[in-house]
């Protein structure tokens, strides 16, 4: 009976195991250690997978509207088209409101960040009455072109809706750097 409390030969009737207390504790430690190791490996695998998905998204994301392609309009070309007296494109801002309020292209309409489904719905409603061949220019400029979360979803939504004359304004760094600092026409507020 003394051996039972001394940790020598213990009988675990519920678990059907025989061994010393020290052996059972070592076994428990190994299970906990292995469990922790498994958790660490799973977390590492999920992290690597997430990074790979994000990288893949960014690569496919930037290949949709490559700078210099026919789907992209340069700032100087849009500024010239807006100054001309002929038919001007419908210019829609698909970025955050606070940036639109700071400065936006003259006569551009606020839609909201196209990374938000509600803004995409607003975009669809706004263009619903336009002819499918109407010239439309989308822009954001919240961040560098390669990282913008708004321009590509807006462009894709309009193309899927059948609009054939949609262009995205190429703002390599930001709206401030590539439009405002160049002296192109802006309005503030709203």
Per-residue pLDDT of 57-116, as tens digits, reads: 443 444 578 888 889 999 999 999 999 877 899 999 999 999 999 999 999 999 999 999
Q: Cα dihedral sign for 52, 54, 59, 60?
A: positive
Long-range contact list for 57-62, CB < 8 A, 24+ apart?
58/146, 58/147, 61/146, 61/152, 62/145, 62/146
Residue where a domain stops, chosen among 39, 64, 89: 64
Q: Is residue 3 part of a domain?
A: no
Q: How many domains does the chain have?
A: 2
Looking at the structure, do residues 79 and 144 belong to the same domain, yes or no? Answer: yes
Residue where a domain stops, chosen among 64, 87, 122: 64
Regarding pTM above 0.85, the answer is no
Residue 144 pLDDT:
96
| Residue 54 predicted with pLDDT over 50 | no
Q: Is residue 166 part of a domain?
A: yes
Give the residue, 26 or 184, on which the prediction is more confident: 184
- Taking the C-alpha atoms of residue 130 and residue 112, their distance in angstroms, rounded to an integer, is 19
């Amino acid at each position: 009976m003394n051996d039972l409390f001394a940790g020598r030969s213990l009988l675990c009737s519920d678990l059907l195991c025989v061994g010393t207390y020290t052996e059972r504790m070592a076994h428990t430690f190994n299970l906990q250690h292995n469990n922790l190791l498994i958790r660490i490996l799973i977390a590492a695998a999920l992290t690597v997978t997430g990074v790979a998905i994000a990288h893949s998204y960014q690569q496919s994301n930037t290949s949709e509207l490559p700078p210099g392609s026919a789907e992209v309009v340069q700032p100087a070309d849009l500024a010239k088209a807006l100054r001309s007296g002929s038919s001007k494109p419908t210019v829609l801002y698909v970025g955050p409101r606070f940036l639109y309020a700071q400065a936006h292209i003259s006569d551009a309409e606020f839609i909201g960040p196209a990374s938000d489904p509600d803004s995409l719905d607003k975009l669809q409603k706004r263009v619903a009455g336009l002819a499918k061949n109407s010239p439309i220019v989308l822009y954001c400029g919240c961040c560098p072109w390669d990282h913008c979360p708004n321009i590509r979803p807006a462009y894709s939504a309009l193309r899927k809706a059948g609009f054939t004359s949609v262009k995205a304004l190429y703002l390599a760094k930001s709206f401030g750097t590539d439009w405002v600092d160049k002296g192109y026409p802006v309005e503030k507020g709203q």
